[in-house]
Chain A
Amino acid sequence: MNGLKFSRKQLGIPYAVFLIAFVVVPLLLITLYAFTKKVPADKATFTIAGESVSFALSNFSDFFSKSANIRVLFVSFGLAIITTIVSLFIAYPVAYILSKTKFNKGGVLLILFILPLWINFVLRTAAMKELLYFVGMYKSNSFSFINTLIGMVYDYLPFVIMPLYSVLVKIDKSYAEASADLGAKPVTTFLSVTLPLSMPGIVSAISMVLLPTTTSYVISDTLGNGNVTIVGKIIETQFLTMDNWHAGSTIALVLLVIIFLSMFLSGKFTEAEDESAGRANLW
């Protein structure tokens, strides 16, 4: 390695350049596309990627004036919130029991709950479709919504169990014992000791499920039988089918603002490390 000398600091330069080129600039590009529209060459203010455009706010008014789009927003958030709540109700007892029982030595049982994550996400969803078809859930279109919900809960359940388990397993037993010694019923102990102490796990579980279920359209496309459209899907349609990048970017920008606003408000921006650490624990 003669003549090739670098210090530790300089090692970060390629990554810094990469971040600017493929994370920062692309987000600025989305903003630019959202506030511009395609116009004939003689009316153009400037050109991007060989396309003559001018500034316009009409993308936003076009999007928000369609009642179908507003409905899609409601369906997306509704589906995501219901999925999160149902997953929490199923996963909490699992995580609670696993954190208590002695036969979960070294987390062997826990691995069984995480194992399905190793199968390709789309394949897993397809398998769920086969099962739902097998048990007759495709006989009527009225099942479309519930099928999508089942698929979402199924796909994201391990992501809910894991953070809950890792918080519950760390809670000191003596808190619950102290509460029992002081005469609290098991239910009271759970509600006023264990549940509040496991709050960080619940928050991180919510943050791992809520956003992907709002935007990731693979599950609703596969299981919804064409009757469930979520917001990610409109972006895809605008972008890949309609070839209208400006409209696609507009919705993406709206999403982006919602995401970062909610991150900012909940102060989660600084805690993303925990989330990815949680995800890293899964493998």
Chain B
Amino acid sequence: MVKKIIGGSYITLVLFLLYAPILLLFVYSFNMSREIGIWSPEWGFDLYYKLWSNTDLMETVVNTIVLALAAGFISTVLGTMGAIGMFYSSRRVNRTMNELTKIPIINAEVVTAISIALICTMFGFGRSYASLLIGHVVLTVPFVVLSVIPKLKQMDNNLYEAVLDLGATPTKAIFLIVIPEILPGIISGFLLAINISLDDYIITSFTKPSTFKTISTYVYDAYAKGGKSSSVPALRALFAIIFVVMIAYVVIHSFIQSRKSRLEGSR
């Protein structure tokens, strides 16, 4: 019993510390004070309105989402094709590509960032939207490949052969058999890619055009280069919105998961 109480309070304490900064910003997103720590008498949704009417910040949000979707889509297509290709290649090719895939994961992000900036300058499009997109694809594509490969390993290879025997072309067989079988891996790779792209600061700052901003670079400029606390109170509203969206996503996701496992359990 005592053990249980100690355990429970430890968990609660760590959770509290983990959520303290989040809750602080959440509460202050409804307060108009310029600075956190000083209550303003004005409460309400004004900061949310400010966020909405701040065209610079709204453009930044749209930029970030568009970039993540584009990079996620390219990575998913390229990575899925790559995973299928290398899985059915000779052992040597498979091994080599596997090792190369892991390089961006193992490597420090600054080093990857520099290397992308160098190669894109070499090709004559340094610091453009293209270099930014390439940087994000390099960062995210390994995660797609590595989430698709386990699904390929689980797949029953005879299915593909059977469809070929029944007269389907390899192209058709891939779309009819392989893609549906590995779809869960593709989807989780896509989500992972989007998440990593949304999170990125370092590669973005090395490869982006100078006027382009993402949420990461915007917040970095406001906090790391700015004063001691935020110079942009509207960011608190953005933070609160992102937090609520994430909670909603996770709740829905785990609800679907638990329903799925219950359905499978009752079968």
Q: Does A4 contact B (CB under 8 A)?
A: yes
CA distance A169 to B239 in the complex (A): 33
A239 and B114 contacting across the interface, CB-CB below 8 Å? yes
Chain A residues, CB < 8 A from B172: 1
A12 and B82 in contact, given A23-B103, A249-B118 (Cβ under 8 angstroms): yes
B37 and A133 contacting across the interface, CB-CB below 8 Å? yes
A126 and B219 in contact, given A111-B254, A249-B114, A263-B106 (Cβ under 8 angstroms): yes
A252 and B111 in contact, given A8-B178, A94-B11, A122-B220 (Cβ under 8 angstroms): yes
CA distance A15 to B84 in the complex (A): 10
B102 and A94 contacting across the interface, CB-CB below 8 Å? no
Q: What is the CB-to-nearest-CB distance from B33 to chain A, in angstroms, rounded to a whole number?
A: 11
Chain B residues, CB < 8 A from A7: 170
Chain B residues, CB < 8 A from A24: 100
Q: For A255, give its contact among B85, B111, B147 (CB under 8 Å).
A: B111
Q: What is the CB-to-nearest-CB distance from B108 to chain A, in angstroms, rounded to a whole number?
A: 4
A14 and B138 contacting across the interface, CB-CB below 8 Å? no
Q: What is the CB-to-nearest-CB distance from B65 to chain A, in angstroms, rounded to a whole number?
A: 12
B169 and A116 contacting across the interface, CB-CB below 8 Å? no
Interface 1/0 per residue, A114-125 and B, CB below 8 Å: 011011111111
CA distance A236 to B224 in the complex (A): 14
Q: Does B209 contact A (CB under 8 A)?
A: no
Interface 1/0 per residue, A150-178 and B, CB below 8 Å: 00001001000000000000000000000
Q: Does B2 contact A (CB under 8 A)?
A: no
Q: Does B115 contact A (CB under 8 A)?
A: yes
A112 and B147 in contact, given A29-B118, A123-B215, A222-B224 (Cβ under 8 angstroms): no
B170 and A26 contacting across the interface, CB-CB below 8 Å? no
CA distance A222 to B224 in the complex (A): 4
Q: Does B128 contact A (CB under 8 A)?
A: no
Q: For A16, give its contact among B85, B137, B247 (CB under 8 Å).
A: B85
Q: Does B32 contact A (CB under 8 A)?
A: no
Chain B residues, CB < 8 A from A4: 171
A12 and B89 contacting across the interface, CB-CB below 8 Å? yes
A119 and B122 contacting across the interface, CB-CB below 8 Å? no
B18 and A116 contacting across the interface, CB-CB below 8 Å? yes
Interface 1/0 per residue, A4-24 and B, CB below 8 Å: 111111111111101101111
B85 and A121 contacting across the interface, CB-CB below 8 Å? no
Q: For B258, give its contact among A106, A115, A212 (CB under 8 Å).
A: A106
Interface 1/0 per residue, B177-197 and A, CB below 8 Å: 010000000001001100100
Q: What is the CB-to-nearest-CB distance from A148 to chain B, in angstroms, rounded to a whole number?
A: 12
CA distance A10 to B87 in the complex (A): 11
B109 and A119 contacting across the interface, CB-CB below 8 Å? no
A29 and B101 contacting across the interface, CB-CB below 8 Å? no
Q: What is the CB-to-nearest-CB distance from B42 to chain A, in angstroms, rounded to a whole number?
A: 19
A121 and B115 contacting across the interface, CB-CB below 8 Å? no
CA distance A211 to B112 in the complex (A): 13
Can you report 21 A-B residue pairs in the complex whose CB atoms are below 8 A from each other?
A: A8-B174, A8-B178, A22-B138, A29-B115, A49-B122, A90-B14, A109-B11, A122-B219, A123-B239, A124-B21, A126-B219, A126-B223, A131-B24, A133-B228, A134-B37, A157-B18, A236-B202, A245-B114, A252-B115, A259-B108, A280-B143
> Closest 7 CB pairs between A and B?
A12-B85, A15-B82, A26-B115, A127-B21, A118-B246, A11-B85, A215-B108
Given contacts A126-B222, A214-B108, A280-B147, 9 further A-B contacts (CB under 8 A): A11-B85, A97-B10, A113-B18, A120-B216, A235-B114, A245-B118, A249-B118, A277-B146, A280-B143
Chain A residues engaging chain B, CB cutoff 8 angstroms: 1, 4-16, 18-19, 21-27, 29-30, 33, 48-49, 90, 93-94, 97-98, 100-101, 106, 108-109, 111-113, 115-116, 118-131, 133-134, 138, 154, 157, 211-212, 214-218, 221-222, 225, 232, 235-236, 239-240, 245, 248-249, 252, 255-256, 259-260, 263, 268-269, 272-273, 275-277, 279-280, 283
